[in-house]
Amino acid sequence: MKEMKTSSKIWLVVALIIVTIIALFPILYPLMSSFRTDQEMFQYTSPFQFHTLWPVEWNFDSYIALFKEYKFSRYFMNTLIVVGAIIPLSIIMCSIAAYSFTFFQFRGKNALFALFMLSFMIPSEAIALPLYQLMNNLGLVNTYWALILPALANGLTLFMFTQSFRDIPVALIEAAKLDGGSWFTCYWRIIMPLSKAIIVAMCLMTFVNEWNNYLWPLLVARLDNVKTVTIAICAFKEQNVINWSLIYASSMLSALVPIFVFLPFQKYFVQGITSSGVKG
């Protein structure tokens, strides 16, 4: 009986290892390929063998070329500037709007809230061209503002904040008002400190979405001084040549930032999302 249990555990471990390898393959292959030349990469692609994943000779030229020849650090800085501006402005704007929808009573509130909800159900691709025309008319194309302004009002972020704020007792606001607190004091000193989990969750969600954003920067950020990481990666695919090692290396560097930002705050993200479920 013990031998059967031991055998079943061994097969379970083997099965889990196989599943883990399959799950990690989309990450492992680009990571290993970033440390080899294009020639070696194609040489061991088929048939599948050990050196399909493991480089014969470790090569760091792609990573060195990214920063010495292709100014990849500049694109990283551009993306950090854009994301760093969007996150606080979007959080403040959407949380104030959610505060108004939750604790204020005014005519047409439900209809206006429903209109905001429709905004994040419309694909961004559907409004990309009219939005580009607006940015062009304002003279904001190829500036940071063209990347920042359209991302500030986010319907999903507003919805999540509204659902979270509905958990906060109205009695706290009434007590603060009786003590002479203004509406802004109630928002800044009561509502926001009680909403740390959803703030962290929305910051992470906004960061990942904007860091990986491709279509909109492709339209409005064509110059090197505002070009973002995703557009820089795409530039390695030219008309007649595809620099696979550079694509893999830049993709790995680009993926590291969201991973290192997300992992330390993962529990707060889960807590914020679960605490903002749909309520009656």
List CB contacts of 89: < 8 A, sequence separation 6 or more. Answer: 148, 152
Q: What is the pLDDT of residues 59-103, one digit of tens each?
A: 898 999 999 888 889 999 999 999 999 999 999 999 999 999 999
Whether 10 has a pLDDT exceeding 50, the answer reads: yes
- How is the chain split among helix, strand and coil, in percent rounded to 5? 75, 0, 25
Residues 41 and 80 in one domain: no
65 in a structural domain: no
Domain count along the chain: 2
3-state SS, 2-38, equals: HHHHHHHHHHHHHHHHHHHHHHHHHHHHHHHHCCCCH
Residues 50 and 152 in one domain: no
List the domain range (segments joined by +) for residue 267.
Answer: 70-274
CB-based contact 82:148 (threshold 8 Å): yes
Residues 49 and 82 in one domain: no
Q: What is the pTM of this model?
A: 0.85
Q: List the single range of 12-21, 41-50, 166-175, 181-190 with lowest mean pLDDT.
A: 41-50
Can you tell me the distance from the alpha carbon of 262 to that of 265, in angstroms, rounded to the nearest whole number?
6
Can you tell me the distance from the alpha carbon of 110 to that of 88, in angstroms, rounded to the nearest whole number?
26
Residues 185 and 53 in one domain: no
Whether 278 has a pLDDT exceeding 70, the answer reads: no
Residues 175 and 52 in one domain: no
Residues 123 and 206 in one domain: yes
Can you tell me the distance from the alpha carbon of 70 to that of 51, in angstroms, rounded to the nearest whole number?
28
